[in-house]
Every structure is written in C-alpha cells, then in structure tokens.
A = this chain, B = another copy of it.
Amino acid sequence: MPDTMRALAILRVGEVGLVERDIPRAGPGEAVVRTTASLICTSDVHTVAGALPVPDGRLLGHESVGIVHEVGEGVTTCKVGDRVAVNAVTPDGTCDACQQGYTSQCGGPLGGYRFTIQKDGNLAEYFHVNDADYNLAPIPEGLADEVAVYACDMLSTGFIGAENANIPIGGTAAVFAQGAVGLSATMGAKLCGAGLIIAVEGIPGRAALAKQFGADIVIDPADGNVAEQIMDITHGGVDGAIEALGHPDTWEGCLRSTKAGGTISNLGYHGVEGPTLSIPLDAFGLGMSGKKIVTDLCPGGRERMSRLMRLLDTNKVDPTPMTTHRFAIGDVEAAFETMSSKSDGVVKPLITYP
C-alpha cells in the first residue's frame, strides 16, 4: 500500500502542476476513495485563473469516482472495496439549508462546494470525502466508472438546469451554449419532457452533439439575433430558457426569449463580467410579466447520485460522446492545458488511473 499519490495542484494563480502528496486519511464519518476515473471541468480552469481565492498548492478537481479505500468510524452505508461515485458538492446533510433540500448551499451560499474551494479536490489518485454516509453512492454493477463519472457534476448540474426551468410536458425550451453543462442541460430538457428544444451554439462539433442529445433546432449566434429567432419559432417565447455559459449576452438572450410566465434557469457562473448582472426591463415586463429567474449549483447527496446513475445504467441517457479526449493521470497537465485552451474540439477530457 503506497503512502503517497499523484495529483493535480494549483501551484499559484495561473499555474498547475502534477504533484506528489500524502494519501488522505478518513476521520469519523469520513471516507477515502481510490480514484478510477475523473473528468476535468471548466470550473477548474476558472479556479486556476483566480476566480475564487484558494491557497497555493490546493488540489484541483471535483468530478471523480473510484473504490472505497478507507472508511472512518461510524460510516455504515459503504465499506472498503465498494465502487462509489461522489458528487462535486459534498453537503453535510444536517445544516438548515440541507434540511430544506438546498444541498449545494450547505452552511451558506455555495457552501456545499468543498473540493478545491474548501479542501483538496479529487483530480488525484486518492481523495477524501466528508459525511460519507450522506455522499457516497454505490455505482450500479454493470455501469462503467468512466460513464458513472458524468453523474458527479455534468448530469447533476445540467439536469437541475432543466428541472428548474419549469418546462411543462411538451413545452418549449432553449439552452444557451452547448459546452458540457449546456449539452447536459439539453439532455435534461429532453428527460423533462420538453416538446421542442432549441440549442444555441456556434461551434459545429458542439452543435452536432446538441442534436444528438435531443435538440430539435440549433441556432448559431453568428446567424443573427438569437432571441428574435426564438420568439419567431415559438410564437412568443419559450417556457424555459437555460443559461449555461455565464455571459451577459446569453443571460440577456434568455430573458428576451422567454414567454410571459416563463422561467430563466441559470447555471452559468457570472464571476467575470463585473459586479452586477443586468435585467433588460422591457424583456422583463417592467418586473410584472410573470417571468421567474431560478439559479442553482450542482445539487449533491447520495440519493440524487443514485437517480442520476440509474439513468445511465438503463441507457436513458448516454453522455459519453462528450468524452473527446483521454489522458492518464501522469499526463494530467496536458489534459488541463487542452481544457484550458479549449483546443482540439475538446468537450470533456477523461483522466484514467493505473
């Protein structure tokens, strides 16, 4: 049994590196997982760029699955050797927000987001999990690790975007931007019974994936005013518009393409566009058009993870076409560079472990 492990760390703002670290230990109620598959996330890129303040040396990553390596005292729902998935968000399950069902807001705004932000992340050969009974979800027997790993963030985030969009059965949806989260939201809109799904995306490879995942129409923003096109196609706006980029233009597009009484469901991280976000009042009915704005961060917990993996296990969704690249953990720096530069048509780089 080794004492140390390889992992990807933020060396300082703007720089990452493969490092060697001690394998973490499990205290009471906690667990340590030996990683078998990870995905790199655009959030990792944002964090390295300095979006949120983290100490130098902090490990990256929040999308990993693996095998239970150690369990702390009092853990009852899993044992060493179990294959498990862990959400990017790891709530404690007891705070007021968790008891109200807002697991990603555990202990305060965005407080459930612990990997990298509050402790080491899991782009590592081993990783630590708090509140193991609340957070460790067994991976169904026939489901491959590299498929299950999509449940950690992409499906949980993308699907909550669709769930929050209040799309009635057969209703209309627009999904702005088709990166991995947007593509997952497109899948989610289909799962939520949307009758017409309009994806907004200019990159041909992503547009093609959007169609494969359920989009009926893909609008390229280069082809003119997106919101006007959506208003025309839908005769007055969609039931639900999902913002999956975090940009003022897509945000405004959502507000302008939603019908009176419709919902704007935000998934995008709006941390780079200045201190405020603008609502155009004409598109908002001066605050009285019945429009709703709903926001969320990847909801966590074992119960939700089990549901997401069930959808993978029964082939209701297949996100693996998003795995455009594969790298061994030893090559994770190159993987990060690919994700960071958005080069080579990358959507999600999968990291494998020996």
Contacts and interface: CB of A to CB of B under 8 A. Distances in A.
A265 to B, nearest CB: 10
Interface string A102-131: 101100111100000000000000000001
A271 B281 contact: yes
A49 to B, nearest CB: 14
B287 A266 contact: yes
A311 B94 contact: no
B297 A289 contact: yes
A176 to B, nearest CB: 13
Contacts of A111: 260
A307 interface: yes
A286 interface: yes
Nearest to A73: B28
Interface in A127-176: 131, 133-134, 159, 163, 168-172
Interface stretch (A9-17, A192-200, A319-327): A192-200
Contacts of A73: 28
Contacts of A110: 260, 285-286, 288-289
A303 B100 CA distance: 7
A195 B169 CA distance: 17
B159 A163 contact: no
A273 B282 CA distance: 12
Interface residues of A, number: 88
Contact of A297 (B194, B266, B280, B288): B288
A304 interface: yes
B287 A295 contact: yes
Contacts of A102: 260-261, 290
Contacts of A266: 287-288
A308 B169 CA distance: 8
Contact of A278 (B105, B277, B308, B316): B277
A143 to B, nearest CB: 12
Contacts of A240: none
A169 to B, nearest CB: 6
A52 B242 CA distance: 31
Contacts of A171: 307, 310
A222 to B, nearest CB: 25
Given A294-B292, A302-B99, A170 B287 contact: no
A140 to B, nearest CB: 10
Contacts of A259: 97, 105
Interface of A: 28-29, 73-74, 77, 93-94, 96-102, 104-105, 108-111, 131, 133-134, 159, 163, 168-172, 188, 190-196, 216, 236, 243, 246, 259-261, 266-271, 273-282, 284-297, 301-304, 306-311, 313-314, 316
22 contacts: A29-B29, A74-B74, A93-B94, A100-B168, A104-B290, A108-B260, A110-B288, A163-B169, A169-B307, A170-B311, A193-B193, A194-B316, A196-B310, A246-B287, A270-B284, A275-B280, A275-B282, A276-B279, A277-B278, A288-B297, A289-B297, A293-B293
